[in-house]
Homo-oligomer: A and B are copies of this chain.
Amino acid sequence: MCSPVYIQLKENLLAAIARGEYQPGDRLPSQRALCKQYGVSHMTVRRVINELLLQRVVYSVTGKGLYVAEPKHPAEVNSLTGFVNHMARLGYIPSTRVLEAKQIHAPFLVARALEIEVDAPIIYLRRLRIANDQPMAVAACYVPRQLCPGLLAHDFAKESLFDIFSTQYGLQPTSSISTIEARLADEEEAELLDLRLPAALLYKEQITFAQNRQPIELSRSVIRGDQYHL
């Protein structure tokens, strides 16, 4: 209720675009019009527009107007949207099979990544990721239990982990760091992913952070050698 005006304005515009009120290619109201409409000064509007320009949400033509850009470049979106949205964006029909979902004690490396105590209770989730009926990846997630009590009550085959985070627990993923390596598949992975040995896999380890830079999830995924966009 007390966030700066420009953030509210920005969220208003983003929401309007997300709702489809402004379609890609549409012209937005002029900057002067936005000033009157929201009762703010030109500079404040400019600040918002500037950020939207940087994020490639809109583009501008001098002397003409502001236009809504095409849906974001894959480069920007990449991994913060989660598997389901990522696959959907690429035109695949994503689905998920839950392999394991339980509470465990944090091993050392996991605890360090999540910045919590060793042996602290965490939620462990292992899922098979499927696109168009073809297994794509095996993803293991580790989430501090204190951040999301009752998480295990959800059906992870149907709900996206990131959706649950934001709707149920107010945790908005805002940034992440990852490392990627290449690995040979072991027998279990080969069976799950429907591969013949020997096979090469991408191994991705990713830590996701919320607004306040608090780590909310560590994920370790093995992904089929198929192409992966960054």
Chain A residues close to B by CB (< 8 Å): 43, 54, 75, 177-184, 198-202, 223-230
Q: What are the residues of chain B within 8 A of A54 when measuring CB–CB?
A: 54
Closest A-B pairs by Cβ, 4 of them: A198-B198, A200-B200, A182-B200, A182-B225
Other-chain contact of A227, B179, B226, B227 (Cβ < 8 Å): B179
Per DSSP, chain A at the interface is strand
- Which B residues touch A226, using CB under 8 A? 181
Number of copies: 2
Query: Chain B's nearest CB lies how many Å from the CB of A89?
Result: 15
Q: Distance in Å from the Cβ of A117 to the closest Cβ of chain B?
A: 26
When A199-B184, A200-B201, A201-B200 are in contact, do A179 and B225 touch as well, CB less than 8 Å?
Answer: no
Given A200-B200, A230-B230, 20 additional A-B pairs, CB 8 A: A43-B43, A54-B54, A75-B177, A177-B230, A179-B229, A179-B230, A180-B180, A180-B227, A180-B228, A180-B230, A181-B225, A181-B228, A182-B182, A182-B183, A182-B200, A182-B224, A183-B225, A184-B198, A184-B200, A200-B201
Bound complex: CA A75 to CA B225 (Å): 23
Smallest CB-CB separation from A183: which chain B residue? B200
CA distance A179 to B223 in the complex (A): 14
Residues in B with CB closer than 8 Å to A75 are: 177
14 sampled A-B residue pairs with Cβ under 8 A: A75-B177, A179-B229, A179-B230, A180-B228, A181-B202, A181-B226, A181-B227, A181-B228, A182-B182, A182-B183, A182-B224, A183-B225, A198-B198, A230-B230
Cα A200 to Cα B177 in complex, Å, equals 23
Q: Which B residues lie within 8 Å of A198 (CB)? A: 184, 198
Query: Could you tell me the distance between the alpha carbons of A230 and B207 in the complex, rounded to whole angstroms?
Result: 12
CB-based nearest B residue for A79: B230
CA distance A229 to B226 in the complex (A): 19
How far is it, in angstroms, between the C-alpha of A229 and the C-alpha of B179 when the chains are bound? Answer: 5
B-side contacts of A43, CB under 8 Å: 43
Asked if B202 and A180 make an inter-chain contact with CB atoms under 8 angstroms apart, the answer reads: yes
Expressed in whole angstroms, the Cα–Cα distance for A223 and B230 within the complex equals 16
Residue numbers in B under 8 Å from A179 (CB-CB): 227-230
Contact with A182, one of B177, B178, B201, B230 (Cβ below 8 angstroms): B201
